[in-house]
Amino acid sequence: MWPSPTFCFLLHHIAASCLLQIRMEGTSVQMLLGVSSLLMVSTDSARLTLSPSSSQMMEGDELSLSCEEDGSAGWTVRRNTTKNTRTECGPAWGRPAGPSCYIIYLLPFDSGVYWCESREGQTSSSVSIRVLDRAVILQSPVLPVMEGHDVRLLCRTKSPSNRPADFYRNDVLIGSEPEGHMTLRHVNKSAEGLYKCVVRGQGESESSWVSVTEKLAPSVLSVTNPAFSAPPPVSAPLVVRLLCHLVVFCPYFISTVIMVSVYRHRPTASHQHVSMVMTTPTQADQILDEDYNDVTTEYHF
């Protein structure tokens, strides 16, 4: 016996509702996991910036170091030198100012590795600084340069000089500039290397490594930027996903098949035939009629 159309409709509606609910719950789970991942991932380590931004400094120069990070309270500048390790900016060296540190007069023993460190022990990437007592130094970016940006090279001399400076990359001459500075436009990874400069009659600088960072692809940017992207999809084991699809699909499919079958087998008005047959009264019918006529109705009060 086929179930009634009302029952099939209810079953179909329940299956569709379950499917919609699962989809909504899946989206909610994805959003929840996406937000949770953003909340659970620790903030990136503070970024140490220098002013002037150069890996080579002259004796007597001033230097400003700052830990840049949202909510940078608790970050301090530390350094390793040939004399001390993990010393914090303070009375021994530098003048602290919150997450920044100022060195008024650089000396050769200030050469070393500098970084930012939090109270919890998080650290930033480190930079190497050399304080040189030389006639010529090369000021080049101490931090990696993003691909497509410009790189400015400055050949400094201890005494004023109007002589041109020759610039080299990996000991290959790349140009000569009369004013002592060169700008490399829209650099790419091929611009990485060891740079130095030479001022005729003054001397040459030490070599410094210039690093170039590749740009992220647009697809990577869209995933790593939470402000403009949807939460990442939640991956589940294949077996679990198949079971979920079967649980949702089977009632939906069965109810659809039942509804189609019911309506196909249901007789319609165009297919119904009414037959009228006139029969003669039988003897049994006559006896029933006579009995009926002999019935007496009694009323009791």
With contact defined as beta carbons under 8 Å apart, do 89 and 122 qualify?
no
Peptide bond just before 52 cis, omega within 30 deg: yes
For residue 243, the SS3 value is helix
Instruction: Give the residues across from 289 on adjacent strands.
Output: none
Please tell me the class of the 44-133 domain: mainly beta
Per domain, the residue ranges of the chain are: 44-133, 135-236
Q: How far apart are CA 196 and CA 132, in angstroms?
A: 14
Q: How far apart are CA 112 and CA 48, in angstroms?
A: 14
Distant-in-sequence contacts of 251-256, Cβ < 8 A, 24+ apart = 251/11, 251/14, 251/15, 251/18, 252/12, 252/15, 252/16, 252/19, 254/11, 255/8, 255/11, 255/12, 255/15, 256/12
Considering only CA atoms, which of 68, 87, 91 is closest in space to residue 78?
A: 87
Q: How far apart are CA 172 and CA 191, in angstroms?
A: 12
44-133 and 135-236 share one CATH topology? yes
Residue 54: the pLDDT is: 95
How far apart, in Å, are the Cα atoms of 100 and each of 69, 92, 94, 108, 276?
11, 15, 10, 21, 107
Please tell me the class of the 135-236 domain: mainly beta
What is the per-residue burial (b if ≥16 Cβ within 10 Å, else e) of 14-32?
Answer: ebeeebeeeeeeeeeeeee
Instruction: Give the residues across from 169 on adjacent strands.
Output: 172, 195
Regions of the chain where pLDDT drops below 70? 1-45, 70-73, 217-253, 255-257, 259-260, 262-301
Residue 43: the pLDDT is: 45
With contact defined as beta carbons under 8 Å apart, do 204 and 197 qualify?
yes
